Amino acid sequence: MRPREAGVTAAGVTVAGVTEAGVTALPDHVRQRIAEADCIIAASRFHADLPDGKEILDWPTPFSNIFNLLDDYSDKSLVLLTTGDPMWFGAGASLVGRLGREGCEIVPAVSGLQLAAAHLGWPLAACRIVSVHGRPAGHLHSALYPRARLLVIAQDGSSPAILAKALCDWGYGAAQIHVMAHLGGPEEVCFSGTAAGWQHDQVPDFHIIGIACGTDMPAIGIAAPDDSFRNDGKLTKRDARASALAKLAPFPQAVLWDIGSGSGAVSIDFLRAAPGATAHAIDRNDDQHVMAIENANHHGVAGFNTVTADLASDPQAVCAALPDPDAVFIGGGMSSAVIELAQARLRAGGVLVAHAVTIESESLLVSAWQSTGGDLMRLSVQHADPVGGFHGWRPLMPVTQWVWHKPPQQQHQGGA
């Protein structure tokens, strides 16, 4: 018997993946777990193959209620049946995160994503996996690029038609869509077509969608165009934003604080470059947050969180509930107290990037640079514009950029 941890049933939890071959095709030791279990949690399509006399429950809705069930059955042995590999866009990751590695047994099966890649002849390592199950369909947007091969976990039978329309709206109408339902089972069926010509309004609920993007489709790059963000003029322009992002160094699962976030452009571009990241957009203006949320939805990013607060009053109290950041961008609300707080809360090895366009804000950056170091630079951008029948250079306001890295923690080596 495994040791009991907080929230783990005394008799143990087994989380097993099931393919279209059903419960009868599970490994012997999993079927033994089922035979001995006090309670089994499984999708309704698996119930008919489960042993009589057992307490059988459907997966709860919303999924988070599963932890209430674990508490209610804390003295029972449980088997939870999922689809495919529980640790790959499945319930296993959340359960291990809650119960701990020793708190539950994970038994994977071949994933529907693996079967879909094999069906299409796509190397799985070259595919981008996107889920719109329980998530807005717009999350697909940030995954699109020329020659992309995407495998999409669908919400239900309406997902292909919804995504086909969205692809057309985003300029990807020529993308090829492949819907593969019940792969590996007796009810396997597939549908194909272009996004612009999609005619299959309803397909079986349980399916994987493959999307192949063409070579002549648009790519956004590290910094999205200025006109792709709704804004009131307070926007970190694309060239300065690209410079900031290069210094902020987005990476998967990173945490960003975007102070004086405005339209949310820096946060959104950060999230596009950092799968699984979280951006906390801090601004005192609710109207800015309304625009920022619209922009986040338009660009299809997840992990965008708005914080309405005026940092001028008590920045420490405002940020107390936020996780320590890996990166901080200050584009507004500049003060010595805000800079000091950002430096204090940054993780070791993290980076702070601040932009100033006014003399007053610039003086704060100069003072911080003089006292704590870092790199101070001036960004100047000019665009060629018509001047009568000729052309001349029209400058944007120069941006003073300060970049400060928090020193990594010292690594102490043991020795005799």
**pLDDT, tens only, 374-386:** 999 999 999 999 9
Q: What is the DSSP letter of 250?
A: -
Convert the pLDDT of each residue in 170-192 to its tens digit.
999 999 999 999 998 889 999 99
Q: Which residue has the higher pLDDT, 314 or 369?
A: 369
Q: Are strands 255-259 and 176-181 parallel, antiparallel or unpaired?
A: unpaired
Closest to 299 measured CA to CA, from 320, 278, 273, 268: 268
Q: Which residue has the higher pLDDT, 355 or 416?
A: 355
Residue 359 has φ and ψ, to the nearest 5°, of -65, -40
Tokens 């003399």 appear where? 359
Q: What is the pLDDT of residue 4?
A: 39
Q: What is the pLDDT of residue 413?
A: 59
Q: Are strands 207-212 and 149-153 parallel, antiparallel or unpaired?
A: antiparallel
Q: What is the pLDDT of residue 415?
A: 52
Give the separation between CA 391 and CA 321, rounded to whole angstroms.
52
Q: Is pLDDT at 296 greater than 50 in this prediction?
A: yes
Buried b (16+ CB within 10 A) or exposed e, 322-346: eeebbbbbbbbbbeeebbebbbebb
- 9-18, 107-116, 313-322: which has the minimum mean pLDDT? 9-18
- H helices within 4-58, ranges in order? 28-36
Mean pLDDT, rounded, for 197-222: 91
Mean pLDDT, rounded, for 286-292: 94
Two tokens, residue 183: 């792969």
Full set of structural domains in the chain with CATH = 13-110 (3.40.1010.10), 113-212 (3.30.950.10), 226-405 (3.40.50.150)
Q: Does an H or E element contain 239, and which?
A: helix 238-248
Q: Which residue has the higher pLDDT, 410 or 308?
A: 308
The DSSP line for 261-276 is -TT-HHHHHHHHHSTT
What is the band of 319 on the pLDDT scale with cuts at 50, 70, 90? very high
Mean pLDDT, rounded, for 218-237: 91
Peptide bond preceding 218 in cis form (omega within 30 of 0): no
What is the band of 411 on the pLDDT scale with cuts at 50, 70, 90? low
Q: Which residue has the higher pLDDT, 94 or 152?
A: 152
What is the band of 324 on the pLDDT scale with cuts at 50, 70, 90? very high
pTM of the model: 0.84
CA distances from 392 to 239, 380, 382, 388, 396 (A): 19, 16, 9, 9, 13
Q: What is the pLDDT of residue 88?
A: 85
Give the separation between CA 278 and CA 182, rounded to whole angstroms.
34
Closest to 261 measured CA to CA, from 331, 316, 334: 331
CA distances from 220 to 167, 198, 223, 226 (A): 15, 25, 7, 11
Work out the percent of the chain whose per-residue pLDDT is above 70.
Answer: 96
Quick one: CA torsion of 394, 396, 402, 403, rounded to 10 degrees?
-80
Q: Is pLDDT at 368 greater than 90 in this prediction?
A: yes
Q: What is the pLDDT of residue 255?
A: 98
Mean pLDDT, rounded, for 264-284: 96
Q: Is pLDDT at 3 greater than 60 in this prediction?
A: no
Q: What is the pLDDT of residue 414?
A: 55
Q: What is the DSSP letter of 130?
A: E
Q: Is pLDDT at 196 greater than 90 in this prediction?
A: yes
Q: Is pLDDT at 5 greater than 50 in this prediction?
A: no
Mean pLDDT, rounded, for 111-120: 95
Mean pLDDT, rounded, for 267-290: 95
Contact 232, 175 (CB under 8 A): no
Mean pLDDT, rounded, for 151-155: 95
Two tokens, residue 319: 């940020």
Within 10 angstroms of residue 196's Cβ, the number of other Cβ atoms is 13
Mean pLDDT, rounded, for 91-114: 89
